[in-house]
Amino acid sequence: FDSARKNFRNEIYKDYKANRSEAPDDLAPQFEYIRKAVKAFNLPSIEQINYEADDLIATYAKQIISLGAKVTIISSDKDLMQLVSNKIRLFDPMKSKVIGEKEVIEKFGVKPNQVIDVQSLAGDSSDNIPGVPGIGIKTASELINKFKTLENLLKKAGEIPQKKRKETLINNKDLALISKKLVTLKDDVPIKTKIDTFDIKKVDKNKLYEFLREMEFNRLLSQAISFYGEPEGKVVQQNTNSVSKKIDVAKYKTIKKITDLDKLIKNLEDKSLISVDTETSSLNPLDADLVGISVCYSPNEAYYIPVKHKTENCLNKKVVIEKIKKILEDKSIKKIGQNIKFDNLILKKEGININPIEDTMLLSYTLDAGLNRHNLDTLSEIHLDHKTISYKDLVGSGKNKLIFEEVDLKKSTEYAGEDADVTFRLFDILKSRLDEEKLNIIYESFEKPLVQILSQIEMNGIKINTDYLKKLSTNFTNKIKKIEKEIFLIAKKEFNIGSPKQLGEIIYNELKIANLKKTKKGSLATNANILEDLAFKGHKFPRLVLDWRQLSKLKNTYTDALQDHVNSKTNRVHTSFLLAATTTGRLASSDPNLQNIPIKSEDGKDIRKAFISENNHLLLSADDQ
């Protein structure tokens, strides 16, 4: 930790960090709890009067290297990049990215051992380090690459050809040298906490859990208990149902005879909880045909009922639907699914209103939104330590890729049965956590009811005025052509406006309206920010390119694409609402994405007019403020 705000750097330069305002009122009280959190996990907590945390890090890093080891500093702080060497690296935990010499050069334009000199010239407004007025990181790196060190640069400042640059360096030599003292991390702090005391200590579970309860970190508490074990003195109940039996896909059975189906149905009638999964010919529920149904009522007790496989004769779909309907609609039997909204839509088309339901995807989302993905493969690895059969491995890829109904029945049974088995096991684990973390009301009142509501909305779809969309596409095409003519007139030649390379050539080499800028990969930079900056400065060409891009996107993404998404049977657009796609709890929409229909521009508003209501109905737009 940093010690009190003032340290030895304030003795060098009294205004060091003087521009820092007081911590916000809602942040200051949290400092105490950050320290408490460290102690709760039994980690060493180090701070030393007169020094900053970075100085302690530099000192400990130096000591570690002297002992013959290498160092990883978990931080992306630019001030620590001066420490990078063949023995020291940084690790950015937000991006899961290692920062070595290459990354430092990308950031500062110089090697790590020259970072201090660049920072001394450029200064740092956030820490009130003065630097040399008028010199930024780019110029500083150019100068240090040429003169190698700050001291050499200041000694030979008179040799610099640019008059203004030369004068500012000569006049501000003292500021540069003071800045160097400020930015240089002290690696010889007389530390009190010795490095040999940093052995990892055993966590005091009761102390940790007490802290997490005090903070009402219920989800973290559950994760800590699953990692470290139950509190001392509490009897641990083994979850024999879901974890103890190893998943064995060879035990799953294929139902090929009506007599076997009848036996399964009779067996299912006695159960209060089963999992269900449908296999289909498509991921679009409105276009998909039912290929098979898998069910599971106990670990490794999974069955696959094929109804439309080309490899072998299957049971008659009508007979299967008739017999399984009473199970899937029986209110005394809970049906668990993974993203059960999809299965619900498939079965609705077959006349089955599956009820009551549970959803492992939504359970996971309620518990761990933002921590991990909530698909079956991910949840199986996290909670069951089991890698599922991948769909790609099942159907293959390229020219030899199969559709599901072409897959061998034995393999189909293993795949479909595993889905049902894993879902069944996950429910037991996730539902127990939901009870412990007291999140039932969120799942029961908000998440689960949306399955039936959104299924109905997706089936209904939304009406589109396709004639209007066609006219709009034509209008956009005409506008685009008009803009293209203006662009070509200014460029004095025709070129592919959508090609960053060709556009860059026009901007930088032919029109020469901007200083050369390149991307990290070395190509000419033509992103929206650069074009907007140029347009803001009064250049007409970049404004026309931005307008061309906007109209082209509206045409391709909306007026053309929406026409392709109109269902031939219903003459409506049927989007899919994603219940577990955002960390905030908001719905998302895909295939097509209807949540980002533009509204700010007049052209965007015109697209919204294509969505219309049925006769004697209305469209209602609502928002909270």
**pLDDT at position 239 over 60:** no
The larger pLDDT score, comparing residue 422 to residue 593, is at 422
Token pair recorded at residue 617: 């109905």
Eight-state DSSP code of residue 129? B
Please give, one letter per residue, the 3-state secondary structure of 553-581.
HHHHHHHHHHHHCECCCCCEECCEEECCC
What is the predicted pLDDT for the residue at 60?
96
Cα distance between residue 304 and residue 412, in whole Å: 8
Tell me the average pLDDT across 77-88: 94
Closest listed residue to residue 148, CA positions, set 184, 177, 117, 104: 117
Cα distance between residue 155 and residue 178, in whole Å: 16
According to DSSP, the β-strands at 334-337 and 357-359 are parallel
At position 611, the amino acid (one-letter code) is F
Contact 409, 306 (CB under 8 A): yes
Contact 146, 159 (CB under 8 A): no
Question: What pLDDT, in 10s, does the model give residues 134-143?
Answer: 898 999 999 9
Cα distance between residue 303 and residue 416, in whole Å: 8
**pLDDT at position 461 over 70:** yes
Question: What pLDDT, in 10s, does the model give residues 327-352?
Answer: 999 999 999 999 999 999 999 999 99
- DSSP for 319-339 reads HHHHHHHHHHT-TTSEEEESS
**pLDDT at position 233 over 80:** no
- DSSP for 254-275 reads E--SHHHHHHHHHHHHT-SEEE
Instruction: Give the chain's length.
Output: 625
Cα distance between residue 284 and residue 461, in whole Å: 13
**pLDDT at position 69 over 90:** yes
Tell me the average pLDDT across 96-101: 92
Closest listed residue to residue 10, CA positions, set 175, 181, 185: 181
What is the predicted pLDDT for the residue at 15?
78
Least confident among 209-218, 245-254, 495-504 = 209-218
Least confident among 59-63, 69-73, 157-161 = 157-161
Closest listed residue to residue 183, CA positions, set 52, 366, 348: 52
Cα distance between residue 101 and residue 505, in whole Å: 32
- Please work out, in degrees rounded to the nearest 5, the angle formed at the alpha carbon of residue 534 by the alpha carbons of 533 and 536: 65
Question: What pLDDT, in 10s, does the model give residues 530-573?
Answer: 888 888 888 899 999 999 999 999 999 899 999 999 998 899 99
**pLDDT at position 67 over 80:** yes
Question: What pLDDT, in 10s, does the model give residues 25-37?
Answer: 788 788 888 999 9
Q: How far is CA 277 from CA 296, 303, 496, 507, in A?
A: 9, 10, 48, 56
Average pLDDT, the chain: 90
Q: How far is CA 127 from CA 14, 25, 54, 137, 410, in A?
A: 12, 21, 14, 15, 67
Question: What pLDDT, in 10s, does the model give residues 257-297?
Answer: 999 999 999 999 989 999 999 999 998 998 899 999 999 99
What is the predicted pLDDT for the residue at 486?
95
Closest listed residue to residue 478, CA positions, set 566, 559, 563: 559
**pLDDT at position 302 over 90:** yes
Contact 98, 132 (CB under 8 A): no
Cα distance between residue 278 and residue 283, in whole Å: 11
CA dihedral sign, ordered 148, 151, 153, 155: negative
Cα distance between residue 545 and residue 506, in whole Å: 12
Residues 6+ apart with CB under 8 A from 373: none
Cα distance between residue 405 and residue 413, in whole Å: 12
How far, in whole angstroms, is CA 422 from its chain's centroid?
Answer: 25
